[in-house]
């Protein structure tokens, strides 16, 4: 895969400061839930043009302020020029430090980036080798113009196939089929909302599992970043979100050998289609709807540092603008790391605050990593997380086992 983006000048990778946990604990009094009704809400019928004057302060007081928030230190580069995203955020995927943000808690329609929450919620519940035969009711209720991987009624697919359809093609047909296997759409929405609440994603209100425009369905750049970070704990989530191409089963026809077709990931910073592929990109999810505009959360690694960037609804009309602005923010983040004071933190899930893995000071892989059955000879683990996973480490956030560097090439599923 071509990697034509060039990394900027990077600051030397910092060792974690011993005071990180203490600093994070100072933010706890600020972690107040978002109001049930925002002052200037985006209610799923289209986003307002200006952010509300006050927003949630989960993760830090500065995150509740409208407009760009950054605290530059000596040697820090200025924020990129020309950013038009209504909301964006740059965070260290390991420490949880937020390097800069703009309207981080603005509640906006999320589009298919909400599928990260869907996957993080449902993926561990269904064995990947389980087979499901699609029936008409599985595909009922799909919105007009929905993205689809192309499921056929009467044809059978493995759960593994369906997740490829979700991550690579953003298939609402695959989402709804998996939701049916999870007990139905209402149950899945309920499960997703409960999981969002556990992750302290207080800006998020789930109405549909696929992110299709629905009245009242909102999230934020902060919450979407939490979903990505939580999902990346799971080896199978990392596998799917980093897969560039895969073979997807065609319709089953009686008396004929079943064929398959190649599907390609819609994450253009991963594939290099239409925009330069971003060096070190390893997922996560893009989206686009009428109300949400274009949304994207991406994770990338350079020189051992791993960053998460979320951009929501760029106002510029240039094609692929959401990817252009994400690449700019990643470049800035890799250069600025170590030269800026964090403006906030990505909070840990409620159940992990004050805990440190198995009590020995080591994260517990059993609690944080989903099992992957039948993965074959080896697993490419996104953002250099090998053998273990992102794991909660007290209130300081998450830490990543650093055993192997990120491969130059992302996974091509056979």
CA distance 279 to 269: 8
Which tokens belong to 398?
A: 């998450």
Beta strands in 237-394 (DSSP E): 245-249, 260-264, 281-289, 293-302, 305-314, 340-341, 344-345, 391-392
170 is catalytic: yes
The residues near 413 (Cβ < 8 Å, ≥ 6 apart) are 164, 243, 245, 246, 247
Annotated active-site residue 279? The verdict is: no
Q: Which long-range contacts (CB under 8 A, 24 or more apart) does 184-193 make?
A: 185/141, 185/209, 188/118, 188/121, 188/122, 191/121, 191/122, 192/117, 192/118, 192/121
Instruction: Report the alpha-carbon distance of residue 164 to residue 265 in Å, rounded.
Output: 9
CA distance 347 to 35: 18
Q: Which of 5, 87, 115, 413 is catalytic?
A: 115
Q: 170, 208, 219, 356: which is the annotated catalytic residue?
A: 170
Per-position b or e across 96-126, b if 16+ CB within 10 A of its CB:
bbbbbbbbbbbbbbbbbbbbbbbbbbbbeeb
Catalytic: 115?
yes
- The CA distance from 118 to 137, in Å, is 20
Per the residue annotation, which of 5, 87, 95, 112 is the catalytic one? 112
Q: Which residues are catalytic?
A: 112, 115, 170
């Amino acid at each position: 895969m071509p990697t034509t983006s060039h990394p900027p000048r990077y600051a030397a990778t910092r060792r974690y400061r011993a005071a990180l946990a203490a600093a994070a604990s100072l933010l706890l009094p600020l972690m107040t839930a978002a109001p049930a009704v925002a002052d200037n809400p985006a209610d799923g019928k289209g986003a307002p043009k200006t952010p509300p004057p006050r927003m949630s302060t989960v993760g830090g007081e500065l995150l509740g302020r409208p407009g760009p928030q950054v605290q530059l230190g000596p040697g820090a580069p200025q924020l990129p020029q020309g950013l038009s995203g209504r909301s964006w955020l740059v965070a260290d995927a390991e420490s949880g430090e937020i390097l800069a943000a703009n309207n981080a808690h603005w509640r906006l329609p999320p589009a298919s980036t909400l599928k990260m929450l869907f996957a993080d919620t449902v993926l561990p519940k269904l064995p990947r080798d389980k087979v499901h035969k699609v029936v008409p009711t599985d595909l009922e209720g799909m919105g007009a113009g929905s993205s689809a991987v192309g499921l056929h009624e009467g044809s059978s697919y493995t759960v593994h196939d369906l997740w490829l359809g979700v991550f690579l093609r953003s298939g609402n047909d695959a989402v709804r089929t998996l939701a049916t296997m999870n007990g139905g759409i209402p149950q899945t929405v309920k499960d997703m909302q409960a999981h969002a609440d556990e992750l302290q994603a207080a800006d998020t209100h789930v109405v549909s599992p696929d992110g299709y425009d629905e009245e009242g369905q909102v999230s934020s750049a902060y919450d979407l970043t939490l979903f990505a970070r939580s999902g990346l704990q799971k080896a199978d989530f990392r596998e799917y979100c980093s897969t560039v191409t895969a073979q997807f089963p065609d319709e089953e026809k009686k008396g004929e050998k079943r064929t398959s077709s190649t599907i390609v990931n819609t994450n253009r910073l991963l594939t290099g289609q239409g925009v330069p592929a971003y060096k070190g990109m390893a997922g996560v999810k893009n989206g686009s709807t009428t109300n949400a505009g274009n949304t994207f959360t991406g994770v990338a690694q350079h020189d051992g540092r791993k960053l998460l960037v979320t951009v929501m609804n760029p106002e510029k009309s240039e094609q692929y603008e959401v990817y252009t602005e994400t690449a700019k923010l990643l470049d800035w983040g890799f250069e600025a790391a170590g030269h800026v004071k964090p403006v906030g933190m990505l909070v840990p899930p409620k159940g992990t605050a004050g805990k440190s893995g198995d009590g020995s000071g080591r994260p517990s892989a059993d609690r944080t990593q989903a099992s992957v059955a039948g993965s074959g000879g080896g697993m490419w683990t996104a953002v250099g997380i090998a053998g273990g996973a992102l794991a909660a480490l007290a209130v300081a956030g998450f830490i990543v086992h650093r055993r192997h560097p990120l491969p130059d090439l992302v996974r091509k599923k056979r």
